Homo-oligomer: A and B are copies of this chain.
């Protein structure tokens, strides 16, 4: 599934990574289908056929973007959870980590592509992505279970998790970096909304 690549010399500029980054931005802004290989090539100062030296197909580029986005969010949220604390402290740290990856300057195009363009993957790749997503969301289900045991929420069902994911992932649609609200404030606000009864 992963595209092949040459071993990378120590100080060689990583053109492949540049392509992935440019692709993430273009896929996020214009959509996968409306983005052409020529768009991507131009964004990294290549000729139109050259990206195919790094990737076999356009679908492989999408897969690279989507898997990197998924891996980054998973890593950040898992690390936040691993720092420990009360269920609410863990939950708040996870909220912040998730939103930072979604909304930060350097990662938001990966996240947006992940959330909106994943369905353009071929069946086998889509299955792989969904497996990663299920693993990721299981972390959240566990966090909700711990919150319930601690009496912080009344319902830790699957639907509650899906509402939470919706509220979080929808921020991509409306958050603006200079909108006067920090990511930390947004994370705090959803925490208050869900846990208000026992704050």
Given contacts A34-B33, A196-B197, A197-B197, whether A166 and B170 have CB atoms under 8 Å apart is yes
A contacts with B: majority SS: helix
Min Cβ gap A102→B in Å is: 12
Q: Does A72 contact B (CB under 8 A)?
A: no
Min Cβ gap A9→B in Å is: 38
Residues on B with beta carbons closer than 8 Å to the beta carbon of A157: 189
Contact with B along A163-199 (1 / 0, CB 8 A): 1111111110110000001000010011011101100
- Which positions 138-177 of chain A face chain B at CB distance < 8 Å? 154-155, 157, 159-160, 162-171, 173-174
Residues on B with beta carbons closer than 8 Å to the beta carbon of A155: 189, 192-193, 196
Q: Most B CB atoms within 10 A — which of A120, A186, A193?
A: A193
Please report A residues at the B interface, Cβ cutoff 8 Å: 31-34, 116, 119-120, 154-155, 157, 159-160, 162-171, 173-174, 181, 186, 189-190, 192-194, 196-197
For this complex, 10 residue pairs linking A to B, each with C-beta atoms less than 8 Å apart, are A31-B32, A33-B33, A154-B192, A159-B186, A159-B189, A160-B189, A166-B169, A166-B170, A166-B171, A193-B194
